[in-house]
Amino acid sequence: MLSHQYKQVPCTSIIINRSDRQRREIDTKGLEESISKRGVLCPIIITEGLVLVAGERRLTASLRLGLKTIPARFGNNLTPQELRIIELEENVRRQDLSWQDQVTAVGRLHAAWVELDPSWTGTKTSEQLGYSATSGHVTDMLRVYGEMTDPKIAEMPSLAAAKNFLFRKDSRGIDNAMALIMEGRVAVTANHESGQIISEVLPHFPVQALAPLVVAKPNPSGPIPVAESILKTDFNSWAPTYSGPKFNFLHCDFPYGVGVFEGKQSGYQRADAQYDDSAETFWTLMETLVTCRDELMQASCHIMFWFSMDYYSEIFAFFRAKAPEFTINPFPLIWAKSCGSGITPDPKRGAKRSYETALLMSRGDRFVCRAPSNLYSAPTDKKYHPSTKPEPMLRHFFQLFVDEHTRMLDPTCGSGSSLRAAESMGAKSVLGLEANETFYKGACEALRNFRVLAAANKGSK
């Protein structure tokens, strides 16, 4: 228990175990002025061995003011765990902690109470800290605390942003699990003790929220062979016969149908670096996409669709008429070509087109992973394909779509840069189609080199 009396203790004699402390930086602004006028009104708490338990900010301010002593209460007959709880309780109630430190303090405090009393619950933690048990605030904090090792969570600007990120992540996990059930790729059971099996579908997901799900077969470990990730085939002939797992992200980079190789201004005069960019090819691919969408897409799915502004209105009208369940964001994603390259259709009357646009579309009310800027600047990369989308740009926009649940299809993958970008971001699986022999071989070579390098980097850690 804590002593009810206190005595003055020399400030410099108090021991601070820095490695055990919650706070790393001590801000004493305002407190120094108060102490200089009124003294230390609330005693600090120390052990019989003069180790600080609570009150580091008051002690630090006193030292900075040059005070010789400070009032202190002693923790008598308290276990180290009880002393730790006292310190954490004080930290939780501080107003100057960052949201990360406050979440960490609540998480550690809850764990300390559970260690003392295994029947302790989050509801009891809420009540102990003065929160309504029905508000869910402490429950949310404990959930965020459990994910703090993820840099994406720890670097969020606020607790609300972290909670929203996890809400979107959970929603996408549920969508993915439901899609697997509908496809008959998982079994359903009433066994509520199946948390370990559930985690194979929904890693890091709160098991109690989805206890009835059981995975029939876990996914094989290890990298997928390149031959299974890129197929040399035409989307128009492949899609109508497809019967495999459905995809929840499609990256569509169809030929724009604007005759990009026509005329001297195109900049692409090499016969071996061309592809069919006729309007007929573009609209045929569009027809295949919407006709086969039920076979290809999960009920909850994102589509990133590159297009020419020449067809902006026509593309909107096409999807609204033939795939009315698609939601189309009218504000496109924009790749600004920092190298200044582009097409100049009429140099006498217009500017060079040094940017490309992509629509952000969804099937079902699917949440994004994160919300990056809709503009990204990067140079072109034509090593494997004349219209390659650079990986840094794709990784920027793929923050919207790609996480550990992502099953991505690129129907006309070209250089395969989208596959490499998605895989580098932890996508569950990627599949690209490429009909051109030269581009297919280049994409396979690039993906193979990427995986060799990724494996080497992983092995060196």
pTM, rounded to two decimals: 0.60
Any idea which architecture 1-78 has in CATH? Alpha-Beta Complex (3.90)
Dump pLDDT digits (tens) for 276-335. Answer: 778 999 999 999 999 999 999 999 999 999 999 989 999 999 999 999 999 999 999 999
407 contacts 429 by C-beta, under 8 angstroms: yes
* Distance in angstroms (rounded) separating the CA atoms of residues 224 and 273: 28
Print burial letters for 195-230: b (CB count within 10 Å at least 16), e (below 16). Answer: eebbeebbeebbbeebbebbbeeeeeeeeeebeebb
Q: Which among 441, 446, 445 is positioned nearest to 424, based on CA atoms?
A: 446
Dump pLDDT digits (tens) for 257-267. Answer: 776 655 444 44
For residue 57, the model assigns a pLDDT of: 78
Give residues with Cβ within 8 angstroms of 210, minimum separation 6. Answer: 174, 177, 198, 202
Q: Which among 89, 103, 98, 85 is positioned nearest to 140, based on CA atoms?
A: 103
For residue 213, the model assigns a pLDDT of: 37
The token pair that represents 357 in the structure block = 């646009």
Positions of the chain with pLDDT under 50: 187-224, 263-270
For residue 407, the model assigns a pLDDT of: 94
The token pair that represents 419 in the structure block = 């596959």
For residue 150, the model assigns a pLDDT of: 84
Which one-letter amino acid corresponds to residue 457?
N
For residue 207, the model assigns a pLDDT of: 39
Give me the CATH code for the 226-460 domain, please: 3.40.50.150
For residue 20, the model assigns a pLDDT of: 59
Three-state secondary structure of the chain: CEEEEEEEEEHHHCECCHHHCCCCCCCCCCHHHHHHHHCCCCCEEECCCCEEEECHHHHHHHHHHCCCEEEEEEECCCCHHHHHHHHHHHHHCCCCCCHHHHHHHHHHHHHHHHHHCCCCCHHHHHHHCCCCCCCCHHHHHHHHHHCCCCHHHHCCCCHHHHHHHHHHHHHHHHHHHHHHHHCCCEEECCCCCCHHHHCCCCCCCCHHHHCCEEECCCCCCCCCCHHHHEECCCHHHHHHHCCCCCEEEEEECCCCCCCCCCCHHHCCCCHHHCCCCCHHHHHHHHHHHHHCHHHHEEEEEEEEEEECHHHHHHHHHHHHHHCCCEEEEEEEEEEEECCCCCECCCCCCCCCECEEEEEEEEECCCCCCCCCCCEEEECCCCCCCCCCCCHHHHHHHHCCCCCCCCEEEECCCCCCHHHHHHHHCCCCEEEEECCCHHHHHHHHHHHHHHHHHHHHHHHHC
Q: Which among 146, 135, 131, 84 is positioned nearest to 109, based on CA atoms?
A: 84
For residue 176, the model assigns a pLDDT of: 65
For residue 262, the model assigns a pLDDT of: 57
For residue 5, the model assigns a pLDDT of: 67
Domain residue ranges in the chain: 1-78, 82-146, 160-215, 226-460
* Distance in angstroms (rounded) separating the CA atoms of residues 418 and 251: 7
Give residues with Cβ within 8 angstroms of 342, minimum separation 6. Answer: 352, 353, 354, 355
For residue 284, the model assigns a pLDDT of: 96
